[in-house]
Structure 1
Amino acid sequence: MSITIHEEYVITLLKKLLDTPSPSGYTHHVMQIIEDEADKLGVPFERNAKGGGILRLQGEDHLSPLCLSAHVDTLGAIVRSVTSRGTLAITSVGGFMMHSIENEYCQIHTRDGRTYTGTILSTHPSVHVYSDAREFPRQEKNMEVRIDELVETKDDVLKLGINNGDFISFDARAVVTKSGFIKSRHIDDKASVAALFGLLESSKREGWIPKRDLVLLISNYEEVGHGAAFIPEGIREMIAVDMGCIGDDLSCKETDVSICAKDSSGPYDYDMTSKLIELAKRENIPYAVDIYPQYGSDASAALRAGHNIRAALIGPGVHASHAMERTTKQAVVNTARLLGAYVGA
């Protein structure tokens, strides 16, 4: 089944998601956007116990629903402690390189609903002061947040309502260029979430229904490993929709849809992966098949949790994953197109 994806809808939603802070564990604001969007499309929505979203699109066959998952949580940090100098020591949420967040703007979200801005720096931030500033190890213990408030002591910070355990989000700085690039933090995996909604919007606009029931899982703990450790009952087949990697020994480009044959959880289902490759060829969708040994997906979490499922993994090609990422409109839209071909096949 060939479907039409509304590019403007997908990219507008993606920009809105990128601009909404949502590190793992602090996803209630972005999940409200997901719920509101589902309501606009008339798609039933419910939350699982962890706060993730479950959306259902009725198909022709109700006996063997297909699960499509994407995650809306991102990398981030938590206040580990408030230092005597009035800065914030951090602990990471998710896996990233410390130098990828150095000198970036961030927000501190207090438990009582206040938000403050700041900058992430090493504790030796200036070459004019520290002789080892260039070589100083960019390790978690050597990084801190400089708060944009007049604070000089720990007590000054505590008076602002900032405490240990408060969440820190990294400014995404999302930009959509005239040349068709999308560059931002957290394209992993908000681009895939937007692609799934592109599929839902297409169904509503064009009036098509899938061959079988679809269960869309918008997970909110993928970056810490257990986003889809629980999936709804009755699922026997699952496609994790997550970003494709780009780099040495990989064939994926920013214009491609990545089809992952194997990651850290092992090989993905042979028949499902083969079918996705054939559909990409049929639909003239640029694609790449790659191996990601240092990668795990929502499907990985579901398999490791013991679910009796077949699984596959696809997503838009993303450069510089877990850093300042970039993809293309083409890759995001074509991810939705490939999913449409699969659910209609």
Structure 2
Amino acid sequence: MSRLEIDIDYLRDQLHDLLTIPSPTGFTDTIVRHVCAELDKLGLDYDLTRRGAIRALLPGRQSAGARAVVSHVDTLGAQVKAIKPNGRLELVPIGTWSARFAEGARTTIFTDRGTYRGTILPMRASGHTYGDGVDDLPVGWEHVEMRIDAYTNHAEMTYRLGIEVGDIIAIDPQPEFLDNGFIVSRHLDNKAGVAVMLAALKAMKATEKPPVDIFWLFTIAEEVGHGAAAVVLPDIASMVAVDNGTSAPGQNSAEFGVTIAMADQTGPFDYHLTRKLVQLCRDNDIRVQKDVFRYYRSDSASAVEAGADVRTALATFGVDASHGYERIHMHALRSLSEMLTCYGLSEVEIPRDRDLLGSLEGFTRQPDEDVLAEQALTPETELAQNARGR
């Protein structure tokens, strides 16, 4: 199946709109409503879990052995840990991110009485006051505080503002969409993944039915490890998580094309599904590379740990400086959307997966020495594949 054309303007607009909506884990109702409104426009039926994870359905020619694509709408953020004697706020992070990237961040504090703006500052924020001492402060959440943009200089005044322990703090994304295709912002993990899924959905709605049902899942707590734990149905046989790839020295991810993760800190992804995705990219002239992530988990891990017997894979767009001031390129987002259309429209290769349990008949086979010998490339075949960029 040839890849479908992706509406790049739609993809970009969706990402822009998603970035404008604060959605740290635990504060996702507004962005859930936004995504549901977009699914309504696309004409998809969907259900919500109690807390707001979305399960949308693109019907296929049959239901058994359904596929799923998943990304998360929640982002990093912070909470008020304590109100300090000077009226400023002690913080704890939501999700795992360094206080190094928190320093200087502009924020919004959500209280029961309204919102306040603020800035996360190091405890020694002024060179005019501390001199070279500003550079001697260690990195850590215990070494930063939030200055509230309201009149307060002691704890009682902050309490009177209505700010309390536990209030959610959203970090401004500060997005920039550059003419050369680069996008720089916080929270591209994983609002870019949500935009990729919506763009692929838009393309697939305009074509034939896929071979099997495809569930498009949007989770609300991936950044704290819950992810897809409660949203995967028993009839989903395979699931592709869409998230960021860690472009950095020592990694094989890239900000261009699709990066397929072969393993993360929870172990290898499904042997057959990962290789299917790589082959779909190669067959459809989509740039692809493989990588292994050592300090990373995604929605797929939470689903498997919750007991879902589902084949999982992780398809990513390369992100530079993940969980900081992130950078991606539109080439990767378009490529990933194209790959999802290829996957969704591809024929089922493991019919046995329609059943939860079965006999050995139809069970998958991984290559042993005899199979590898049969599949060995001749010099002519190897030259031909290299010429095609494989």
| Interval of TM-score (by shorter of Structure 1 and Structure 2) | over 0.9
Q: Say yes or no: does 1:21 pair with 2:22.
A: yes
Query: After the TM superposition, which residues 216-231 of structure 1 pair with which residues of structure 2 at under 5 Å, given as runs?
Result: 216-230=216-230, 231=232
Residue 269 (structure 1) shift: 0.6
Residue 127 (structure 1) shift: 2.2
Residue 44 (structure 1) shift: 0.9
Query: After the TM superposition, which residues 199-278 of structure 1 pair with which residues of structure 2 at under 5 Å, given as runs?
Result: 199-204=200-205, 206-230=206-230, 231-278=232-279
Aligned position for 1:45: 46
Q: Matched residues in 2 for 1:19 and 1:175: separation?
A: 12
Which stretch of structure 1 is more off in the superposition, 152-161 or 220-229? Answer: 152-161
Q: Matched residues in 2 for 1:56 and 1:103: separation?
A: 42
Q: Which amino acid aligns with 2:199?
A: G
Aligned position for 2:139: 138
Q: Matched residues in 2 for 1:160 and 1:65: separation?
A: 51
Q: Matched residues in 1 for 2:112 and 2:300: separation?
A: 32
Which stretch of structure 1 is more off in the superposition, 215-224 or 130-139? Answer: 130-139
Q: Which amino acid aligns with 1:251?
A: N
- Secondary structure of 2:195's counterpart equals helix
Residue 8 (structure 1) shift: 0.5
Residue 159 (structure 1) shift: 1.7
Aligned position for 2:345: 344
- Secondary structure of 1:179's counterpart equals coil
Residue 229 (structure 1) shift: 1.3
Q: Matched residues in 1 for 2:118 and 2:238: separation?
A: 44
Aligned position for 2:365: none
Aligned position for 2:370: none
Aligned position for 2:59: 58
Residue 203 (structure 1) shift: 2.2
TM-align CA RMSD: 1.1
Q: Matched residues in 2 for 1:288 and 1:134: separation?
A: 40
- Secondary structure of 1:133's counterpart equals helix
- 1:182, 1:327 within 8 Å by CA — same for their partners in 2? yes
Q: Which amino acid aligns with 1:106?
A: T
Q: Matched residues in 2 for 1:135 and 1:232: separation?
A: 52
- 1:252, 1:287 within 8 Å by CA — same for their partners in 2? no
Aligned position for 1:83: 84
- Secondary structure of 1:132's counterpart equals helix
Deviations 1:286-333 (A, max 9, x none): 121000010001001111122111110002111110000011111111
Q: Matched residues in 2 for 1:32 and 1:236: separation?
A: 28
Query: After the TM superposition, which residues 180-191 of structure 1 pair with which residues of structure 2 at under 5 Å, given as runs?
Result: 180-191=181-192
Aligned position for 2:118: 118
- Secondary structure of 2:272's counterpart equals helix
- Secondary structure of 1:8's counterpart equals helix
Aligned position for 1:318: 319
Residue 53 (structure 1) shift: 1.1
Q: Matched residues in 1 for 2:129 and 2:106: separation?
A: 22
Residue 154 (structure 1) shift: 1.3
Percent identity of paired positions between Structure 1 and Structure 2? 34
Q: Matched residues in 1 for 2:46 and 2:84: separation?
A: 43
Aligned position for 2:70: 69
Q: Matched residues in 2 for 1:135 and 1:300: separation?
A: 39
Aligned position for 1:197: 198
Aligned position for 2:354: none
Q: Matched residues in 2 for 1:139 and 1:224: separation?
A: 19
Aligned position for 2:165: 164
Q: Which amino acid aligns with 1:214?
A: I
Q: Which amino acid aligns with 1:3?
A: L
Q: Matched residues in 1 for 2:245 and 2:294: separation?
A: 12
Aligned position for 2:310: 309
Residue 128 (structure 1) shift: 2.2
Which runs of structure 1 show a deviation greater than 4 angstroms over 4 or more consecutive aligned residues?
none
Q: Which amino acid aligns with 2:214?
A: L
Larger Rg over CA atoms? 2
Residue 236 (structure 1) shift: 2.0
- Secondary structure of 1:54's counterpart equals strand
Deviations 1:128-173 (A, max 9, x none): 2225221211211121110111111112112221111110011000
Aligned position for 2:331: 330
Q: Which runs of 5+ in 1 are unaligned?
A: none
- Secondary structure of 1:242's counterpart equals strand
- 1:109, 1:168 within 8 Å by CA — same for their partners in 2? yes
- Secondary structure of 1:108's counterpart equals strand
Query: After the TM superposition, which residues 100-115 of structure 1 pair with which residues of structure 2 at under 5 Å, given as runs?
Result: 100-112=101-113, 114-115=114-115
TM-score of the superposed pair, with normalisation by structure 1:
0.97
Q: Matched residues in 2 for 1:18 and 1:258: separation?
A: 23
